[in-house]
Amino acid sequence: MVDAQTQGDVLNQALPYIQEFRGQTFVVKYGGSAMRDASLMEGVIRNVLLLQLVGIRAILVHGGGPEIDTWLGRLGIEKKTLNGLRVTDDDTMDVVEMALAGRANKALVAAVQKAGGQAIGLSGRDADLLEAERISDELGRVGDVVKVNAHVLTVATGAGFIPVVCSVATDFEKRALNVNADSAAAAIAAAVGASKLILLTDTNGVLADKHDANSTISQLGAAEAREMITSGKADRGMIPKLEGALHAIDHGVGSVHLINGGLPNALLVEVFTHSGVGTMIVGGR
């Protein structure tokens, strides 16, 4: 058990970070095992709420692949993927929207409010928050975000609410599109001028050796991240996260953090301590 003096030292270490980040905006992308485990979900939500209570404007973005898969199975709809992305026909899109904008989104809103905060659940279709274009005919109703209505989010955070945004977008004909949650979070971070984008993953950040879970890279430059994608050092699941991180960095976000959402209080340790627990991606190098 950690003694009181150590706890005090940790809190004292957080002070300069709280002073630096007060009034800034953080976008947190939430998913993976931390979203499937009730106790981990509670911990992540408490971490996000603490960010807000020390003066940081927090925006929570989520996907929900396991929830979608569960409902596809119940409804007898076959899951299909192409190059790591979910092929989304009309029936699958209905399930995606139901699972994300309905069950997953409202569960997170309820968790924030149970912890004492105030949240607003949003789909990317609300107020055209996320506008997207289809990627290809082969993927169906899968899109890339091309426009973000940042005003909706800044109004909400300015009024003291935590926006909880699911990764369903609208196309130019106002039809729903399925978008990658990491990419959606990156687009939102860029649009609202966030100082940090934090991606919760199932790994300990970016690995120097994708086969070695203990080879976490503490800090990575944008050029190094690009090289990992082109050289194949990053595995398929990490590529969209790195691409989203690079989009955010290229559009003015100060830093992107990839951390293991399954570690207790990983978000607070990454943001408010000297050492951190994951990978921080910054411009340059």
Q: Which residues carry out catalysis?
A: 29, 32, 65, 182, 241
CB 98 within 8 A of CB 106: no
CA proximity to 166, closest of 61, 86, 96:
61
- HEC per residue, the chain: CCCHHHHHHHHHHHHHHHHHHCCCEEEEEECCHHHHCHHHHHHHHHHHHHHHHCCCEEEEEECCHHHHHHHHHHCCCCCCEECCEECECHHHHHHHHHHHHHHHHHHHHHHHHHCCCCEEEEECCHHHCEEEEECCCCCECEEEEEEECHHHHHHHHHCCCEEEEECEEECCCCCEEEECHHHHHHHHHHHHCCCEEEEEECCCCCECCCCCCCCECCEEEHHHHHHHHHHCCCCCCCHHHHHHHHHHHHCCCCEEEEEECCCCCHHHHHHHCCCCCCEEEECCC
Q: Which amino acid is at 274?
A: H
